Structure 1
Amino acid sequence: MTEAHSRTVQASLNPLARLDPAQRVFVYPAWGRLALSLLLLWRWIGVWWVSLLVLLASDPPVTPPLLLRLVAIGIVVPFILEMVFRRAYRARTFCEPETLRIAFRSEELEIPRARIAAVRPWRVPLPGPGLALLVPGGKLLRERVEVPSPRSWAKLHGLALEEGSRATAATLAFAEARAASQPWRWYHYVAKFFVFGLIPAALLFQVHQRIAYGSVLGEYYLRGPAAYLRTWAVYYGTVVVYLLLFAGLLRSVLEVLLWFAAQTHPQRAIPGRRAGERLVHFVYYLGVLLLLALRFSGCG
């Protein structure tokens, strides 16, 4: 094993190795955490709501235009609001000898280190893992800091971490396991949804063409290339939305199960996260193929 490869492996296992001294975080007031948590819950409830409607609605069924409206209301709107909110409160934190400096886009906030007695991690990782700043006497400062790994952030900034309850320790383990997992890049999402989506979309589209027009190119010859491509776009877009919903269902179940598992076995949070991620990927790809097989066998 080369030295460079060894450093890469260590960084993937140690969240602290990934942290920049000028740590990127989200810093917002207490009401901001509540607002972001509600938006996140709105989005996840939207995933389940739209998915159940797609599965159960039959009279009338969920048509592609209706599907787009449902996705917009239940998922896209809260996602956009969340991104706008996060952009406004994105910050960097700097550890300086006498102050904790928080740099926003247009202003900076300096908190004397003497005012910070400790940091208290959130018991429930909503809208993500994070912490509150404690002053001497046990009161909380206004600022709430959302950071991937609260323990690593506190260690990096030389702040004492309050780990009082078992639930807090479990959430810290959950956060560290998630921070240690390899982050996805844009091309991972393109491959998972838009490239893989070509397979079920092409199969469903050609079946529709054969049934409705007698051959794969039947609509092309009968109605022209514009209508043919429009039908393909509807099928492909609908399949991609279905894949996003399916992945969202799996992700929501996985995150909840891993958080509950950390309550009883925090020491196994990292291997549990790895096993869960592999299982979700396996179920995603195999599940889509099985659903297609059931559809074409006449059982779906």
Structure 2
Amino acid sequence: MHAADAPAETSAAGQAVAPSFHVRAYALAPRLLSAVFQGVIAADLLLASYLVFSFTFTGAANPTPPVLAGWLVGLALVLYGLLQLTRWLSAATFSVEPSRFVLERRGDRFEIPVSSVESIRVWRLLLPGAGLSLRMKSGRTFQYSPQVADPRPLLEAIARENPTLPVETRHPLAAFAHARATSFHRRWYFRVLELVLFPLVTGTIVFQLNQRITFGGPFAQYHMQGLGPYLRSFFTYWAALTSALVLFATPWRVLAELVSLVGAWISPPHARGVRRFAEIAWLLLYFGGFAAIMAQFIDW
């Protein structure tokens, strides 16, 4: 859920309406749990991809992905469901007023006087996403911390409504999160292309090459053995190529994030430009680099 940049509006009575943002309000334990879910899901899928890529075609007459890989994918789906449940339970709104902050979370309403807040700090660990903490004058952190995809509009609203309150609007991590949220928008259809259609196309190419070499035609296995074995073979090659894509793309994605983070840390005003460069380079490597490897592999 993205925070909306909600500048104050004027009500019918002529009074300013406080900027309000959709956030996820995390206590420490749910936040850590969500971060653990994210890490385990990523590690789980990487391990499953490694198993499929490394042990599917190991001399077997009828290659199939390892059973353990299927269990790992199932575990990842369960953890993803739990992660979404945690996010849903943490949904909240955060309103910024000149004298107080108002956090409304699942029937609870917290009114936090600005006079009791020492500073607003950006999360140093951007897990399960970017967010900010309210450091109280008592020395403690307020029990709920708002998490938003882009913390900058919220930070700027706080600084605008409360100019004497120390707010980390220019922190490098705020610039990094802002650039990640705004510099390269990926629509749902791009996600489908990236995660579904591209693996499907590459998997189909390799599958059809295998059908022609092994069985003598694009549908020969279907005519010889039936629809079930034919679809199982297709699934095997699709799973193998999807796993190869995951293993190929992951280190480049990590590198793109590191470049973006270093760029934001060195020069926060240029964080968006660095992010755009990193994203475009990653896309070229993902689509062009993998296609080039495939072309060389099948000797086009």
Offset, 1:92: 1.6
Summarize the alignment of residues 128-167 of structure 1 with structure 2, pairs less than 5 Å apart: 128-157=129-158, 158-159=161-162, 160-163=165-168
- 1:77-92 superposed matches below 5 A: 77-92=78-93
3-state SS, counterpart of residue 101 of structure 2: strand
Among the aligned pairs, what percent are the same residue? Answer: 28
Query: What is the CA–CA distance in structure 1 between the aligned matches of 2:230 and 2:54, rounded to whole Å?
Result: 29
Structure 2 residues not aligned, in runs of 5+: 7-18
Supply the distance in 2 between the matched residues of 1:195 and 1:236 (Cα, whole angstroms): 11
SS for the counterpart of 1:197 is helix
- Identify the residue that residue 212 of structure 2 maps to in structure 1: 210
Deviation at 1:51, TM superposition (A): 4.4
Structure richer in helix, relative to its length: 1
Per-residue displacement from partner, 1:236-265 (whole Å, max 9, x unpaired)?
344345434544443333223322333333
Partner of 1:267: 269
Residue in 1 that maps onto 2:23: 25
1:243 aligns with 2:245: yes
Label 1:39 to 1:117 Cα distance change in 2 as closer, same or farther (>3 A): same
52-61 or 286-295, which moves further after superposition? 52-61
Q: For residue 69 of structure 1, report the CA deviation from its aligned partner.
A: 2.5
Please identify, of 202-211 and 239-248, the stretch whose mean Cα deviation from structure 2 is larger.
Answer: 239-248
Matches within 5 A, 1:147-296: 147-157=148-158, 158-159=161-162, 160-163=165-168, 169-296=171-298
Partner amino acid for 1:276?
A
Segment of structure 1 superposing worse, 262-271 or 58-67: 58-67
CA distance in 1, matches of 2:79, 2:35: 11
CA RMSD after TM alignment: 3.1
Deviations 1:217-246 (A, max 9, x none): 101211233433343244334434543454
SS in 2 for 1:117: strand
Matched residue pairs, number? 279
SS, match of residue 141 in structure 1: coil
- TM-score of the pair, normalised by structure 2: 0.79
Per the alignment, do residues 177 and 89 of structure 1 end up closer, same or farther by CA in structure 2, a change over 3 Å counting? same
Paired residue type of 1:44? A
> Please, which runs of 5 or more residues in structure 1 have no aligned partner?
1-14
Asked whether the 8 Å contact 1:151–1:161 carries over to 2, the reply is: no
Q: Distance in 2 between matches of 1:42 and 1:278?
A: 28
Measured after TM superposition, the shift of residue 180 of structure 1 is: 1.9
